[in-house]
Amino acid sequence: MSATTDETQSAVAADIADERLIQSQGLGGQARAVWNRLKGGELGMLPVVIGLIVISLVFYSQEPTFLSSKSLVNITLFAAPVGVIALGIVLVLLLGEIDLSVGSVSGFAAASMAVLVANKSQSLIVGMIAGILIGTLIGSVYALLYTRLGVPSFVFSLAGLLGFQGALLYVLGDQGTIVLPTDSGLRQFARERFLSDGAAYVLLAVVVLAYVGSQLLLVRRRKAAGLTPPNLTMVGIKAVLLAGGLGFLTYYLGIDRGWGYLFVLFVALVVVMDLMLRKTTWGRHVYAVGGNEEAARRAGIKVGRIYFSVFAATSTFAALGGILLAGQLTSVSQSSGTTDTNLTAIAAAVIGGTSLFGGRGSAYSALLGIIVLQAIQSGLNLMNVDSSVRFMVTGAVLLLAVAIDSVSRRVRSSSGRG
Partner 1 sequence: MSATTTEKPVTGQTVLSLTGINKRFGAVQALTDVHLEVAAGEVVALVGDNGAGKSTLVKVISGVYQPDEGDITFAGRKISVGGPSDAQALGIATVFQDLALCDNLDVVANLFLGQERLLGPVLDEVTMEKEAWRLLRTLSAKIPSVRIPIAGLSGGQRQTVAIARSLVGNPKLVMLDEPTAALGVAQTAEVLNLVERLRETGLGVILISHNMADVQAVADRIVVMRLGRNAAEFRTEETTTEQLVAAITGASDNVVAARASRRAGTTDTTEGAGQ
Beta bridge partners of 260: 194
Name the minimum Å distance from CB 55 to partner 1.
30
Q: Which is nearer to partner 1, 281 or 384 (CB)?
A: 281
Residues 6+ apart with CB under 8 A from 318: 85, 88, 99, 101, 102, 103, 105, 106, 109, 135, 345
**Residues in region 351-410 near partner 1 by CB under 8 A:** 359-360
Name the minimum Å distance from CB 12 to partner 1.
12
Q: Which is nearer to partner 1, 31 or 400 (CB)?
A: 31
Binding residues for partner 1, total number by CB under 8 A: 38
Query: How far does CA 375 lie from the centroid of its chain?
Result: 16
11 binds partner 1 (CB under 8 A): no
- Tell me the C-alpha distance between 338 and 311, whole Å: 20
Q: For residues 262 and 77, is the Cβ–Cβ distance under 8 A?
A: yes
Name the minimum Å distance from CB 401 to partner 1.
19
**Residues in region 91-120 near partner 1 by CB under 8 A:** none
Q: Are strands 331-333 and 177-179 parallel, antiparallel or unpaired?
A: antiparallel
CA distances for 192 relative to 69, 126, 330, angstroms: 16, 22, 12
Site track 275-294 with partner 1 (rule: CB under 8 A), x = hit:
----xxx--x--xx-xxx-x
Provide the H-helix boundaries in 122-196: 124-144, 153-172, 185-191
Helices and strands of the chain, counted as H and E runs = 17, 2
**Helix, coil or strand: residue 411:** helix
Name the minimum Å distance from CB 389 to partner 1.
38
Q: Which is nearer to partner 1, 257 or 412 (CB)?
A: 412
Q: Which is nearer to partner 1, 81 or 359 (CB)?
A: 359
- Tell me the C-alpha distance between 134 and 37, whole Å: 43
416 binds partner 1 (CB under 8 A): yes
Residues 6+ apart with CB under 8 A from 67: 56, 59, 60
218 binds partner 1 (CB under 8 A): yes
Q: Which is nearer to partner 1, 94 or 319 (CB)?
A: 94
Name the minimum Å distance from CB 365 to partner 1.
15
Beta bridge partners of 282: none
Neighbours of 69 (CB within 10 A): 16
Could you tell me which stretch among 101-109, 190-198, 215-223, 385-393 binds partner 1 (CB under 8 A)? 215-223
Query: How far does CA 248 lie from the centroid of its chain?
Result: 23
**Residues in region 295-334 near partner 1 by CB under 8 A:** 295-296, 298-301
Neighbours of 291 (CB within 10 A): 17
Q: Which is nearer to partner 1, 270 or 288 (CB)?
A: 288
Q: Which is nearer to partner 1, 209 or 227 (CB)?
A: 227
CA distances for 257 relative to 70, 78, 80, 182, angstroms: 7, 14, 16, 20
Name the minimum Å distance from CB 31 to partner 1.
18
236 binds partner 1 (CB under 8 A): no
225 binds partner 1 (CB under 8 A): yes
Q: Report which secondary-structure segment, H or E, holds 92.
A: helix 69-94
Q: Which is nearer to partner 1, 21 or 149 (CB)?
A: 21
Would you tell me which residues interact with partner 1 (CB under 8 A)?
1-2, 5-6, 14-15, 18, 20-21, 218, 221-222, 225-227, 279-281, 284, 287-288, 290-292, 294-296, 298-301, 359-360, 412-413, 416-418
